[in-house]
Amino acid sequence: MNKIGLSMFIFLVGSAMAQPLPSKKIAHFAGGCFWCVEAAFEKVPGVIDVVSGYMDGTTANPTYSTYSKSGHVEAVEVAYNPEIVSYEKLLDVFWRNIDPTDAEGQFVDRGPQYRSIIFYETDEQKKQAEKSKQALEQSKRFAKPIVTEIKKASTFYKAEPYHQNYAKNHPWRYKWYYSRSGRPSFLKKAWKQKLPTRSQKEAFTKPTPAELKKKLTPLQYKVTQKDGTEPPFKNAYWDNKKPGIYVDIVSGEPLFSSKDQYDAGTGWPSYTKPLVPENIVEKEDNSWFKTRTEVRSKKADSHLGHVFKDPKTPTGLYYCINSAALKFIPVTNLKKEGYDRFEALFK
């Protein structure tokens, strides 16, 4: 077995080095269909996890077929890192994804089970929620009164597995529902914002193999296009400590953040989660006499590396990535390179 193979073998069978878990707080919101609310919060840097479920009812353990009869509403539980994203920011995300003037439901979904509510966990969250609601009212953005409730959080009951990560697991069904729900057109008008479109950076056409060979180094081409593996401990970012983000070397799509970098002791850069989850595609890999989960970039289809389970990380996972598949954008260059939307991560 050569040195690279030995290092990979040690990597696969060895245990990962632990890092201190980041601080975590919980917030709860109800804004109509929990698929849509979950999808909105999942995109926010600093959000660790979003779970769909039911709150505010009169019985325990509601199900999708019973929750409306027992007075529950569809809600989401947001686990977030306050060192990266504030509760105030989460409130802003919430307002920008609902109709706060509708007391009878949300968009196409009608009934009290779809009304909008901010559930506060602490007095401080209550204070911030009330302040945020007052500011929205005073802005006169909406002609009608703001009717979103602010209530003390009750027991949160997790919804059935089918409803979790619905936008990711059922993208076409979700897009079909979302486009017809009335939500996107309302938000566009209410916030005077364009519907999501592909920016010049996101509008990507993959170069031909000949063009890629001119653009990439031989190692970068081998890793990204031929599913290769670079040597451990002898690559650009395995011990990089600078703050910034990592993007695909071919397409420039944002993939990982130094905030989530994890020292797995393998000699390759590792991360506990993607910066933009929808830019990561997972595939089964049966090489190396073992079934593993390969990760590739969505737009460029670059081979990046693999994702492994590790209960010691805050997500229970870590992504072991080839430096040759990445380009590092330091914080100081985020705006210059067109990634200024990620600057808030490092403030």
Residue with tokens 């990620």: 342
Using CA atoms, how far apart are residues 303 and 206, in angstroms rounded to an integer? Answer: 14
By DSSP bridging, strand 105-106 and strand 73-80 are unpaired
For residues 88 and 128, the answer to whether their CB atoms sit within 8 Å is: yes
- How many angstroms separate the Cα of 184 from the Cα of each of 90, 145, 205, 280, 326? 19, 21, 27, 25, 34
The torsion angle over the Cα atoms of residues 306, 307, 308 and 314, rounded to 10 degrees, is 150
Per DSSP, the chain holds a count of helices (H) and strands (E) of 9, 16
Question: Which residue in the list 8, 320, 326, 334 is annotated as catalytic?
Answer: 320
3-state SS assignment for residue 323: helix
Question: What's the rounded Cα separation, in Å, for the pair 50 and 134?
Answer: 26
Positive or negative torsion for Cα 341, 342, 344, 347: negative
In 18-148, where do the E strands start and end?
A: 25-31, 47-55, 73-80, 105-106, 109-110, 116-120
Q: Which of 16, 30, 33, 36 is catalytic?
A: 33
Q: Are strands 292-297 and 303-309 parallel, antiparallel or unpaired?
A: antiparallel
Spatial CA neighbour of 33 closest among 196, 191, 181: 181
- Residue 36 is among the residues annotated as catalytic for this protein: no
Structure tokens at 208: 């031909």
Query: What distances in angstroms separate CA 165 from CA 50, 53, 79, 148, 162, one per listed residue?
Result: 8, 12, 14, 25, 8
Angle at 185 between CA 184 and CA 186, to 5 degrees: 90
Active-site residues, by number, are 33, 320
